[in-house]
């Protein structure tokens, strides 16, 4: 009986996901045709779908945990967070990039459900971390929209970034990319990503007259950071920085040679790394044939594929799979757990939603008149897309596995906070631009009135 | 206007990156669809998958059938529980094996294939709404029901084993081991079988029973001899017994064969002649040859196999040497190994690897996997095979297997009476027929009954007649 209900829930969740994506598609075309107000009318419906999704899934979890008091409180808390954050966004954020906030919320709810299912304590912690992330993000939005000197902070941020990278002192899952202060650990690379984007956008806009020189300087520093990360065996972050730099230099110079050169460099670098770093070679060999060493190097990816293969169209059903047997399931491999229990439809849904995040973000960034904001926004969108691609592709054996987190979904404070900061910066960019636009219009109007007054005086005279 | 143009120009690269990202995520989606929809069945059914138990109960295990489609093992749902049924009861107990109480035989080997399914998208979709379980693949074996039945009847209450191979393909046609058991009742009787060590009911004597080869080993001794010497030069005066390094070797029942050629010594299975050959033999060469024929090597098969043992070192005393070359001494062989030996001869010296599972077929009758015969290469020259073949033919005409002499087909044979600790010899028969175009190679062993001529040859005769004439 319970299994039948879970099956129904799985079907229902898949349908809700499809409905949610349809709304995104409608919104996208409406905004494209400059019908922004109508697009935003759908926002309420989106929130209703998200809440319904959350509710349906939590009925299963409630039953699974025997209607424990704690689970009920977590559920109510999460609803509170969804409603409150939605309210703040709606009323204090100039109704600007609502689809982006909604996508963040949708992915966060999937994260709440999956982590709550894996372990209720993880669900609770992720909830606290999400509260923290929202607090931080509203601060970021406020600051970014008002402070105009961020574009001069390139040098301090890169110094801070390198310091944070070098000061990592904790090895978790083979990579030395954690920092421990007392009992508190976090992943500096998550924050370093943002500092790096600030540095890149700032340097490239400040020195746009010396295009080649500024690219040379930023390129050298990027290379240094990539080497540090390869050394720390954080190949995922290294790849992110590398590809972000290539793509950003293309955005900046509009010269296709950078993409071509970057691709050639990737091949050479990959070949070099394959030859000389055994841990790179192991990853690539494992990617090509994980089943030949299923006990050892191939263990993670094959366990992930078993879970994915077990999913089917609508999943095994929430709580009916064995996602706890997937290694590192709460962070890197959370996507495999989603496909196993919630199914292919939701798995593909997540991919589509992430693509929409990029599309909506670009719709907004395109209109930016400030080059620094433009580069910041592009960088953030590229980072989120590349990072999602690396981890989803990695756990599904489309590309060699590199351990990075899935934005908005993976467990962990560093990841969640940094993803939300990026979302906040996108919102901040929009508000910052709007303020400048408003000022300009005001100034124009003032000038017009002055002119009129002058004309009147002349007339009288 | 100017501003818009500038922005458009600036946005161009980002637009291209957008296209790139959409394409890459699209490929990502296709890859996931590939794994979930098309690879799921092959991928998920893996020993390392912790979900195997759950998958197992969501599938009706497939059938195991013989080469003609007779069902040897099948599954039925009874009271919401899957039951494994073996319609022929004890007939295939060792080769098909059993499951439920651990797994053995083909049941163990093909375990994953039997729970793999082939479902299209629609089936998968409907699975969510109905209670019908999908059915796993059917495993088609090379076994021949009728041959197996006949062989089992012929063995009767004796302990022993029969292995029949189709030489040119390597298909195992029959594999019988007695005493046998009813796999339907294994859970009731398991502990009884385990306690009765003397009967060793659970042991598959065909692949794991280790017997002294007796005179069947003379095939190898003769081959080793032929590698250095001409057959025509051999002549020996058999007096029924002779002494080699202090050890007296008797011919069976102390029969006196008189003056014999190599051919006669072979077909009459004259021990003293062969012990004499042993004195002249390059023992290293014999060692190499014996290993070429698979002794001391793992035989690759779908079932557990024991290695046939040939444990003689370089410095062998004269008595050890004499015992070894006539198939006594420390040498031990499995019936499968002996069957492979004669099928190598049947194949003019080529080893074609034996196998039991020929096909895995999905419920829609499409072939999932097919076993192709593997020629592992030449073991011995055709010239030598032809000579030995003529000796073995003579054995069937005038020698120890002369009961097989008939006008319908030619047979190459060797019998053996392997002496052992219990006092009564194990009866051996190895051979193949018809010589011109071999269709079946046989190895038969019956424990503690006496000579191969009297006890194993009649069984061979019945099997060959049934297999070669009635078809």
More confident residue, B171 or A96: B171
The structural domains of chain B, ordered by start, are: 147-182+193-355+373-469 (3.40.710.10)
Token pair in block for residue B195 = 């306690």
* Cα B453 to Cα B37: distance, rounded to the nearest angstrom: 60
B91 preceded by a cis bond (ω within 30 of 0)? no
Is the CB of A396 less than 8 angstroms away from the CB of B7? no
Is residue B288 within 8 A of residue B263, CB to CB? The reply is no
Match 């209900």 to its residue by tokens.
A5
B179 preceded by a cis bond (ω within 30 of 0)? yes
pLDDT the model gives residue B355: 97
Is the CB of A306 less than 8 angstroms away from the CB of B10? no
**Residue B129 binned pLDDT confidence (cut-offs 50, 70, 90):** low
Query: Taking the model in full, what pTM does it have?
Result: 0.76
Distances (CA, A) of B74 to A125, B97, B327: 51, 12, 42
Q: DSSP per residue over B381-447, as a string? A: -HHHHHHHHHHHHHHHHTSTTGGG--SS---EEEEEEE--TTSSPEEEEEEEE-SSS--EEEEEEET
**Residue B448 binned pLDDT confidence (cut-offs 50, 70, 90):** very high
pLDDT the model gives residue A418: 95
Least confident of A182-186, A192-196, A273-277, A385-389: A182-186
* Cα A388 to Cα A405: distance, rounded to the nearest angstrom: 8
| A251 neighbourhood in chain B, CB within 8 Å | 13-14, 17
In angstroms, how far is CA B349 from the centroid of its own chain?
18
* Cα A36 to Cα A11: distance, rounded to the nearest angstrom: 32
* Cα A62 to Cα A72: distance, rounded to the nearest angstrom: 7
Token pair in block for residue A40 = 């935003």
Is residue B247 within 8 A of residue B323, CB to CB? The reply is yes
First to last CA, chain A: 92
* Cα A210 to Cα A214: distance, rounded to the nearest angstrom: 6
Is the CB of B25 less than 8 angstroms away from the CB of A389? yes
3-state helix, strand, coil in chain B (%, to 5): 40, 20, 35
**Residue B164 binned pLDDT confidence (cut-offs 50, 70, 90):** very high
Is the Cβ of B128 closer than 8 Å to some Cβ of chain A? yes
Is the CB of A344 less than 8 angstroms away from the CB of B21? no
Token pair in block for residue A327 = 């290694």
Is residue B47 within 8 A of residue B59, CB to CB? The reply is no
Is the Cβ of A366 closer than 8 Å to some Cβ of chain B? yes
Is residue A364 within 8 A of residue A99, CB to CB? The reply is no
pLDDT digits (tens, 9 = 90+) for B285-301: 888 899 999 899 999 99
Mean pLDDT of the A383-410 span: 94
Sequence-distant (≥ 6) Cβ neighbours of residue A411 within 8 angstroms:
A111, A115, A122, A125, A126, A330, A331, A334
Q: Above pLDDT 90, what percent of chain B?
A: 57
Distances (CA, A) of B207 to A336, A419, B308, B354: 44, 63, 10, 12
Look at residue B67 and tell me whether its pLDDT is greater than 60.
yes
Is the CB of A321 less than 8 angstroms away from the CB of B12? no
pLDDT digits (tens, 9 = 90+) for A328-377: 888 899 999 999 999 999 999 999 999 999 999 999 999 888 889 999 99
Is the CB of A309 less than 8 angstroms away from the CB of B36? yes
Partner residue facing B36 (CB), from A250, A308, A325: A308
Tell me the CB-side half-sphere exposure of residue A155, using CA atoms within 13 A. Answer: 3
Mean pLDDT of the A184-194 span: 86
Q: Are strands B64-65 and B138-141 parallel, antiparallel or unpaired?
A: parallel
Sequence-distant (≥ 6) Cβ neighbours of residue A25 within 8 angstroms:
none
pLDDT the model gives residue A181: 74
Cα-only R_g, chain A: 24
Partner residue facing A396 (CB), from B10, B24, B31: B31
Sequence-distant (≥ 6) Cβ neighbours of residue B262 within 8 angstroms:
B222, B225, B231, B234, B273, B391
Helices and strands (H and E) in chain A: how many? 17, 3
Look at residue B223 and tell me whether its pLDDT is greater than 80.
yes
Q: How many residues does chain A have?
A: 461
First to last CA, chain B: 93
pLDDT digits (tens, 9 = 90+) for A412-423: 889 999 999 999
* Cα A402 to Cα A233: distance, rounded to the nearest angstrom: 10
What are residue A114's phi and psi, to 5 degrees? -65, -45
Token pair in block for residue A177 = 């990319």
Is the Cβ of A305 closer than 8 Å to some Cβ of chain B? yes
pLDDT digits (tens, 9 = 90+) for B250-286: 888 788 888 889 999 999 989 999 998 888 888 888 8
Q: What angle, 0 to 180 degrees and rounded to 10, lies between the N-to-C axes of helices A371-395 and A235-253?
A: 140
pLDDT digits (tens, 9 = 90+) for B370-379: 999 999 999 9
Is residue A100 within 8 A of residue A27, CB to CB? The reply is no
* Cα B191 to Cα A113: distance, rounded to the nearest angstrom: 49
């Amino acid at each position: 009986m319970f299994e039948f209900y879970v099956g129904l829930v799985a079907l229902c969740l898949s349908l809700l996901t499809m409905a949610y994506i349809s709304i995104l598609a409608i919104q996208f075309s409406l905004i494209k045709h400059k019908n922004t107000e109508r697009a935003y009318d759908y926002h309420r419906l989106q929130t209703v779908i998200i809440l319904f999704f959350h509710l349906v899934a939590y009925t299963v979890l409630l039953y699974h945990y025997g209607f424990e008091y704690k689970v009920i409180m977590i559920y109510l808390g999460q609803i509170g967070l969804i409603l409150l954050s939605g309210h703040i966004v709606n009323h204090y954020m100039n109704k600007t990039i609502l689809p982006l906030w909604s996508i963040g919320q949708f992915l966060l709810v999937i994260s709440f459900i999956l982590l709550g299912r894996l372990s209720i304590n993880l669900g609770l912690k992720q909830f606290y971390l999400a509260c923290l992330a929202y607090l931080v993000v509203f601060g970021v939005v406020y600051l970014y929209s008002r402070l105009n000197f961020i574009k001069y902070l390139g040098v301090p941020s890169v110094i801070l970034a390198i310091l944070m990278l070098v000061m990592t002192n904790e090895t978790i899952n083979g990579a030395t990319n954690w920092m421990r202060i007392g009992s508190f650990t976090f992943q500096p690379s998550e924050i370093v990503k943002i500092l790096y984007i600030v540095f890149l956008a700032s340097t490239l806009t400040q020195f746009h007259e010396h295009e080649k020189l500024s690219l040379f300087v930023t390129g050298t520093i990027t290379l240094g950071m990539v080497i540090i990360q390869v050394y720390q065996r954080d190949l995922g972050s290294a790849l992110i920085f590398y590809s972000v730099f290539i793509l950003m230099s293309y955005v900046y110079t509009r010269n296709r040679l950078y993409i071509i050169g970057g691709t050639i460099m990737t091949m050479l670098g990959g070949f070099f790394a394959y030859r000389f770093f055994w841990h790179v070679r192991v990853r690539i060999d494992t990617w090509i044939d994980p089943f030949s060493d299923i006990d050892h190097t191939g263990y993670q990816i094959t366990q992930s594929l078993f879970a994915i293969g077990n999913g089917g169209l609508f999943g095994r059903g929430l709580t009916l799979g064995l996602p706890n047997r997937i290694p590192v399931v709460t962070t890197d491999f959370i996507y495999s757990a989603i496909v196993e229990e919630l199914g292919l439809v939701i798995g593909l849904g997540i991919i589509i939603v992430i693509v929409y995040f990029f599309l909506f973000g670009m719709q907004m960034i395109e209109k930016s008149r400030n080059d620094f904001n433009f580069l910041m926004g592009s960088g953030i969108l590229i980072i989120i897309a590349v990072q999602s691609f690396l981890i989803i592709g990695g756990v599904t054996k489309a590309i060699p596995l590199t351990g990075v987190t899935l934005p908005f979904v993976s467990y962990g404070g560093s990841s969640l906070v940094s993803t939300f900061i990026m979302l906040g910066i996108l919102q901040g960019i929009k508000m910052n631009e709007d303020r400048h636009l408003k000022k300009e219009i005001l100034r124009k109007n003032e000038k017009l009135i002055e002119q009129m007054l002058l004309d009147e005086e002349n007339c009288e005279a | 206007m100017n501003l818009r143009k500038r922005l458009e120009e600036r946005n161009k690269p980002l637009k291209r990156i957008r296209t790139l990202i959409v394409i890459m995520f699209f490929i990502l989606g296709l890859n996931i669809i590939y794994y979930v929809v098309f690879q799921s069945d092959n991928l998920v059914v893996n020993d390392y998958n912790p979900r195997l138990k759950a998958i197992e109960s969501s599938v009706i295990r497939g059938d195991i059938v013989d080469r003609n489609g007779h069902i040897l093992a099948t599954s039925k749902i009874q009271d919401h529980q899957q039951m494994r049924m073996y319609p022929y009861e004890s007939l295939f107990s060792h080769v098909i094996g059993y499951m439920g109480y651990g797994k053995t035989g083909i049941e163990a080997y093909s375990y994953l294939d039997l729970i793999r399914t082939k479902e299209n998208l629609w089936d998968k979709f409907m699975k969510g709404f109905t209670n019908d379980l999908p059915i796993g693949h059917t495993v088609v074996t090379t076994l021949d029901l009728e041959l197996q039945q006949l062989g089992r009847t012929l063995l009767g209450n004796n302990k022993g084993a029969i292995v029949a191979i189709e030489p040119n393909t390597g298909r195992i046609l029959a594999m019988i081991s007695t005493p046998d058991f009813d796999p339907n009742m294994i859970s009731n009787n398991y502990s009884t079988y385990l306690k009765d060590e003397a009967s060793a009911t659970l042991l598959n004597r065909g692949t794991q029973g280790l017997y002294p080869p007796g005179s069947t080993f003379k095939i190898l001794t003769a081959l080793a001899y032929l590698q250095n010497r001409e057959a025509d030069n051999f002549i020996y005066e058999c007096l029924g017994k002779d002494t080699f390094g202090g050890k007296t070797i008797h011919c069976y029942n102390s029969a006196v064969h008189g003056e014999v050629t190599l051919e006669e010594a072979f077909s009459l299975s004259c021990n003293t002649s062969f012990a004499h050959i042993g004195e002249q033999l390059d023992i290293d060469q014999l060692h190499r040859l014996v290993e070429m024929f698979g002794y001391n090597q793992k035989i690759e098969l779908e079932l557990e196999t024991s290695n046939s043992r040939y444990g003689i070192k370089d410095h062998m005393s004269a008595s050890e040497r004499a015992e070894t070359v006539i198939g006594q001494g420390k040498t031990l062989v499995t019936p499968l190994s002996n069957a492979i030996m004669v099928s190598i001869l049947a194949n003019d010296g080529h080893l074609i690897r034996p196998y039991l599972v020929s096909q895995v077929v999905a419920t829609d009758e499409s072939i999932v996997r097919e076993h192709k015969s593997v020629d592992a290469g030449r073991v011995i020259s055709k010239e030598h095979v032809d000579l030995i073949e003529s000796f073995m033919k003579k054995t069937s005409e005038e020698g120890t297997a002369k009961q097989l002499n008939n006008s319908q087909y030619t047979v190459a044979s060797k019998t053996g009476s392997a002496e052992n600790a219990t006092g009564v010899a194990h009866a051996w028969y190895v051979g193949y027929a018809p010589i011109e175009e071999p269709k079946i190679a046989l190895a038969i062993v019956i424990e503690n009954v006496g000579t191969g001529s009297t006890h194993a040859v009649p069984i061979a005769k019945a099997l060959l007649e049934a297999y070669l004439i009635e078809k």
